[in-house]
A and B are shown apart, each in its own frame.
Chain A
Amino acid sequence: MGYIMNKNSNKQVEMPQLLTVSPSPHLKAPVTTGKIMLDVLIALTPALIWGIYMAGIRAAVIVLISVVSCVIFEGASVKLMGRKTSLLDLSAVVTGVILAMNLPVSVPLWMPVVGSFFAIVVVKQLFGGIGKNIVNPALAARVFLISWAGEMTRFPSPAEPVNSLAVKLGEADIVSSATPLVSLKAGELPEATLGDTFVGNIGGCIGEVSALFLIIGGLYLIIRRVISWHIPVAYIATVAALTYVFPQANDGLKFMLYELTSGGLMLGAIFMATDYVTSPITENGKLIFGVGCGALTVLIRYFGGYPEGVSFAILIMNLLVWYIDLIGAPRRFGKVKEKRKKAKGKES
C-alpha cells in the first residue's frame, strides 16, 4: 500500500499510512481576527481622512506616531512576556488609530507615545493580551492622558488646519476655540450650525468631529456583520431620549441633536463601545450595555466637571460586562421558566 492510482490520469498518488486525527468540525469559516480588524480600519478611514483634512497635516503625524508606537509596544511586550500572539491580527493598529482619533491635533508629540504605552502594555498585555483586557485600551489611554488636562482640552479652531509640527499651546499660532460641547454644558446652543456639527466642521479631537463619516463607517461594519446594531442603537437612542426629555437649553429638539452630533458620542458608540473584548457577548447584554453607556454619558455631561462623558461612561460599563452577560444570557433551548415557580410552590 502507500499509493492509490488516480484512474483519471493513471498516476500514483501517495496515501499516508497514518492520517491526521483532529476534532471536528473539519471545516472552518474563512473569518479571522485579522480580517475583522481590517474591516474596522476600513470603517474608520472616512472619519479619519475627514479629521486629517480638517485638523491639518499634524493630525496625520499624530496618527502615524500612535500606530507605530502601539505596534512596537505590542511586539516588544509579546516578545518579553513570551506570548505567541501574532501582530498580523492588526489589533494594535486599530488601538493606535482609535487612540490618535481621540486626541486633539495640538497635543505634544510625546503624548501619543505615552498613551500607546499605557494602552498596549498596561491595559492590554499586562492583563493577558488580546481578548483578555477588561477595559478598552485606547479609551483607558485617553483617560490617562487627561492627566494633562490642558493639552487634552484645547482645540484649535476648525477654520485653521495645523500643518506645522512645532506648535506651542496658547501661543499665537494656535487659535483655541470652544467646542460645541462646552457651549452645551453652559446651557446654550452652540454657534456652529447643526449641519456643521453633523458633517464635522467643528473643533474637537481628530477623529470625533464628523458624525456623518462615523455613521458611514458604522453602517459598513453592520453590513459586513462585524458589529451588530444593538450597542450603537441602544447607546445613541438613550442619549437622544434623555437629552430630549431633560434638555439643558430652551429648544429640546435642537439641544438633543447637538448633543448627538458633538463630542465623542458617535466615535464612542460606534467604534469604542462595540469593541468585542470589552463589551457583552450576548444580544440582551449588548442592549443593557448600550443603555448604560448612554445614561452615564448624559449624567456625566450634565453633572460632571468635564464637558465630555463618553470615555468615562464606556470605561465604567466595561467593568460591568461580566455581570451584564450573566443577566443577558439567552434563554436556553428547551428550558422552561415554570421550573422555578414549581420549586417555589413546593417550598411554601
Chain B
Amino acid sequence: MAYTFRGGIHVEEYKLTAKSRTQIINDPPTVRISMNQSIGAPATPTVKVGDTVKIGQVIGEVPETALGCPVHASVSGKVTAINEMRVTDGSMNRTVVIENDGKNEVHESVVPFTKSITDVSPEEITDIIRRAGITGMGGAAFPTYAKIKSAVGKAELLIVNCAECEPFITADHRLLLEEAEKVVGGVKILMRAVGVPRAVIAVEDNKSNVKNKLHRQIGNANFISVKFLKTKYPQGDERQLIYALTGRELAPGKLPADAGCVIFNAATCAAVYTAFAEGMPLVRRIVTVTGNCVASPGNFSAPIGTPASYLVEMAGGLRKTPEKMIAGGPMMGQAQWDPDMPTKKNTSALLLLSKSFSKKQNSPAACIRCGRCVKNCPMRLIPAYIASSVMNDDMKSAEKFGAMSCVECGSCSYNCPGKVEIVQYIRVAKNNIRTENARMKAAREAAEKK
C-alpha cells in the first residue's frame, strides 16, 4: 500500500532526465551570488570589489541574532562587482559577482570535521549547519539551523522529503541514486541535532529504483525507514506529506513540529553531510535543466549563482526558441524574464518551455462551476468561490472561504476548463488580507498608545 492524501491531481510526469547522470560543472565564467539566499535577513557582503576569493570562503554574513545564514563563494576568482539585481523570486537583491579564475582553489577554512558526530553536542551541530549556510533546498529556502531549533523537543519523527512531485524535476531522484550515502549520512547528523529517535525517507513510487541503494546505505540503522508514496501532485507539500505518513492534519498556521514532525529535503540532508565530511559549505547544488526547448536535458551539479544561459549551453543548447524560462517546477516555479538569471540555493530546476507547450487560450476565462477545483484541492477549500470573491474585490469573503489556508499548489488552475487563473486570484487575496491585517494591527496599536 502506498501512502497518499485526499485530493490532488495526476499530472503528466515529463521526467525526461530521470536516467541522466549528474554532470559536474566547475567553470561558469562568472557567478552572481544573491545575498538573499534564504527566508530572513539578507546577508551583508564581507568582500570588496577587487578581492580574490576561494571556494567556500564567506562572502556574506548575517548577525547571529537574526534569522538567516552566511553566503559563500562558489568559485574561486575575483569579485568584479557588488550590485543590486533582480533574482528568481522577482525581488531586488544585493548580489556579489565573481569572475571565475578556473583554478577551483578551495579556501583554507574548508576542513573536514574530524570528531565523531556522537561526541559533539546537538547545539554545536546546529551551529556548524548555520555556518555552512544551509537552507531548505526544496523550495521555500528556510534556514535549516532555524528549523532544527524550532523542532527541538517537539518533533519525534524526521521526514526526508523526496517526493519530488513536480513534473520534469529529477534533481533529488538523481541525488538518491548517485549519492544515497550523503543523504543517509545527513539524516543521521540531523537526527542528532534535532534529537529525534526515528526518521522516514519518503519517496514517490515513480522513483522505486532508489529502494536498494537507500537500504544498502541504511544497513542495520533500523531507526531509518524508507516509505513509498503514491505518485500524485502535490505530495511534496509538507502538510500532505505529514498526512500521508502519519494521518495527522496540520491546522492552518501551524508548523510541522506541532504535529511532531520535522521535514528536510533530500538535497538539504546531503548538504549537511558534505558540510561535515568535507567541511564544504553549501556552494553547489543539482539543477535539472529541461523542457521541450533544451537540446539535451540533463542534471547538473553547478555552483550557486551560475547563469541560466550557461546551464542551457551545458545542456546542449537550445532546440527551440523558448517563450518561458521557469526556475523550479512547472506547477509552482517562477517564470523568469532574464536569460542570464543566476541560480540560488533553492533552484532545483530550470525549465525552458516553448509557446506551443504553454498554449494560450483564445477564449476568455469563464468559470462554469464544474467543481474540479473543489475536488482537487488538497486543502479542501472552494477555490472557485475564493477566486470569484477576489474578482468582486470582496476580500472578507475570500478570507471566509479559507484563502489563507491555500498552499498555492495550483491544482485548481491546472484542471480548470474555463482557464481561470484561480490560484493567482487566491494569491492576490492572501496578499491583500495580509496587508489589511497588518494595517489593522498597526492602527490598533497606535490607538492603544494614545
Tell me the A residues contacting B by CB distance below 8 Å. 1, 4-9, 13-29, 31-36, 84-86, 88-89, 91, 129-131, 228, 276-277, 279-283, 286, 325, 329-336
- Return the chain B residue nearest A132 by Cβ: B366
Please give me the residue from chain B that is nearest to A286 by CB atom. B371
Residue of B nearest to A10 (CB): B317
**Nearest 10 A-B pairs (CB), nearest first?**
A25-B410, A13-B318, A86-B363, A334-B251, A23-B424, A330-B380, A27-B330, A334-B249, A26-B330, A333-B379
Contacts of A17 in B (CB 8 A): 339
In-complex Cβ contact of A334 among B9, B252, B415, B421 (8 A): B252
Q: In the assembly, what is the distance between CA of A85 and CA of B384, in Å?
A: 19
Q: Is B375 an interface residue (CB 8 A)?
A: yes
**CB pair A332 B402 closer than 8 Å:** yes
How near does chain B come to A286, taking the closest CB pair, in angstroms? 8
Distance to closest chain B CB from A65 (angstroms): 26
Please measure, in the bound complex, the distance between the C-alpha atom of A107 and the C-alpha atom of B230, giving whole angstroms. 56
In the assembled complex, B321 has its CB within 8 A of some CB on chain A = yes
B423 adjacent to A15 (CB under 8 Å):
no
In contact, A19 and B313 (Cβ under 8 angstroms) = no
How far does the Cβ of B392 sit from chain A's closest Cβ, in whole Å?
12
Q: Which of B334, B364, B367, B413 is in CB contact (< 8 Å) with A28?
A: B413
C-alpha gap A8/B337 in the complex (Å): 26
List the B residue with the shortest CB-CB distance to A32: B417
Which B residue's beta carbon lies closest to that of A17?
B339
Nearest-Cβ distance from residue A93 to partner chain B, whole angstroms: 15
Q: Are A331 and B380 in contact (CB under 8 A)?
A: yes
**B385 sits at the interface (CB 8 A):** yes
Contact of B335 among A22, A35, A334 (CB under 8 A): A22
Identify 16 residue pairs between A and B in the complex whose beta-carbon atoms are under 8 Å apart, listed by A's number.
Answer: A7-B295, A7-B317, A9-B295, A13-B318, A15-B322, A19-B323, A23-B427, A28-B413, A29-B9, A84-B364, A86-B363, A131-B366, A276-B370, A277-B369, A281-B374, A283-B371
Which residues of chain B come closer than 8 Å to A7, judged between CB atoms? Answer: 295-296, 316-317
Report the minimal beta-carbon distance from B376 to chain A, rounded to whole angstroms: 10
Q: A8-B319, A18-B337, A276-B370 are in contact. List 15 more A-B contacts (CB 8 A).
A: A6-B319, A15-B309, A15-B312, A15-B321, A19-B324, A25-B413, A26-B324, A26-B326, A26-B333, A35-B417, A88-B362, A129-B366, A331-B380, A332-B381, A335-B251
Establish whether residues A88 and B363, one from each chain, have CB atoms under 8 Å apart when the complex forms: yes
How many cross-chain pairs have Cβ atoms below 8 Å apart between A and B? 209
Distance, CA A17 to CA B308, complexed state (A)? 12
Q: Are A20 and B323 in contact (CB under 8 A)?
A: yes
Please state if B313 and A5 are interface contacts (CB–CB under 8 Å): yes
Q: How far is the CA of A336 from the CA of B370 in the complex (A)?
A: 28
Chain B interface residue count: which class? 35 or more
| Interfacial residues of chain B within 309-366, with CB under 8 A of chain A in the complex | 309, 312-313, 316-326, 330-340, 351, 353, 358-359, 361-364, 366
| Cβ contact of B369, chosen from A20, A91, A131, cutoff 8 A | A131
With contact pairs A23-B424, A84-B364 given, residues A333 and B378 touching in the complex (Cβ less than 8 Å): yes
Using known A-B contacts A36-B417, A333-B239, A334-B250, determine if residue A4 contacts B382 with beta carbons closer than 8 Å: no
Q: B195 contacts the other chain (Cβ, under 8 Å)?
A: no
A1 touches B339 (CB 8 A): yes
Tell whether, in the assembled complex, residue B424 and residue A29 are in contact, meaning their CB atoms are under 8 Å apart: no
Which residues on B are within 8 Å of A, measured CB to CB? 9, 11-12, 167, 239, 243, 249-252, 254, 293, 295-296, 309, 312-313, 316-326, 330-340, 351, 353, 358-359, 361-364, 366-372, 374-375, 378-382, 384-385, 402, 405, 410, 413-419, 421, 423-424, 427
The smallest beta-carbon distance between B289 and chain A, in angstroms, is: 12
- Are B423 and A25 closer than 8 Å at their CB atoms? yes
Shortest CB distance A336–B (Å): 6
B249–A333 touching, CB < 8 Å:
yes
Do B322 and A19 have beta carbons less than 8 Å apart?
yes
Given contacts A131-B418, A276-B369, A276-B370, contact A21 B337 (CB under 8 A): yes
* Chain A residues with CB under 8 A of B427: 23
With beta carbons under 8 angstroms apart, the residue of B316, B318, B321, B382 that contacts A281 is B382
Q: Which residues of B contact A18 (CB under 8 A)?
A: 337-338
Q: Which of A22, A25, A130 contacts B368 (CB 8 A)?
A: A130
Report whether A4 and B317 are in contact in the complex, using a CB–CB cutoff of 8 Å.
yes
Q: Determine whether the beta carbon of B309 is less than 8 Å from that of A33.
A: no
Q: Please name all residues of chain B whose beta carbon is closer than 8 Å to the beta carbon of A88 when the two chains form the complex.
A: 362-363
B residues in contact with A332, CB < 8 Å:
252, 379-381, 402, 405
Residue of A nearest to B254 (CB): A334
Return chain A residues, CB-CB under 8 Å to B418: 33, 131
**Residues of chain A with a CB closer than 8 A to B362's CB:** 86, 88
Please state if A33 and B295 are interface contacts (CB–CB under 8 Å): no
Q: Are A329 and B363 in contact (CB under 8 A)?
A: no
| CA gap between A91 and B322 in the complex, in Å | 35
Tell me, in angstroms, the Cα distance from A84 to B416 when the chains sit together.
18
Q: Tell me which residues across on chain B come within 8 A of A129, comparing CB atoms.
A: 366
Neighbour of A131 across the interface among B334, B368, B380, B385, CB < 8 A: B368
Roughly how many angstroms separate A335 CA and B182 CA in the complex, as a whole number? 38
Q: For the complex, what is the distance from the CA of A33 to the CA of B384, rounded to whole Å? A: 15
Contact B296 A8 (CB under 8 A): yes
B382 pairs with A282, CB closer than 8 A: yes
Q: Find chain B residues with CB under 8 A from A89 CB.
A: 363
Is the beta-carbon distance between B374 and A330 smaller than 8 angstroms? Answer: yes
Complex Cα distance, B320 from A55, in Å, reads 57
Contact, CB under 8 Å: A31 / B250: no
Contact among A20, A34, A280, A325 with B324 in the assembled complex (CB-CB below 8 Å) = A20
Q: Which residue of A lies closest to B362 (CB)?
A: A86
On whether the beta carbons of B318 and A4 are closer than 8 Å, the reply is yes
Please, how many angstroms separate the alpha-carbon atoms of A91 and B368 in the complex?
10
A129 to B381 CA separation, bound complex (whole angstroms): 25
B263 to chain A minimum Cβ distance, whole angstroms, is 16
Q: Which residues of A contact B370 (CB under 8 A)?
A: 36, 276, 281
Give CA–CA (A333, B239) in the complex, Å.
9
Query: CA of A18 to CA of B410 in the docked complex: distance in angstroms?
Result: 25
CB neighbours of A36 from chain B (8 A): 368, 370, 417
Chain A residues positioned under 8 Å from B410 (CB to CB): 24-25
Q: How far is the CA of A36 from the CA of B362 in the complex (A)?
A: 17
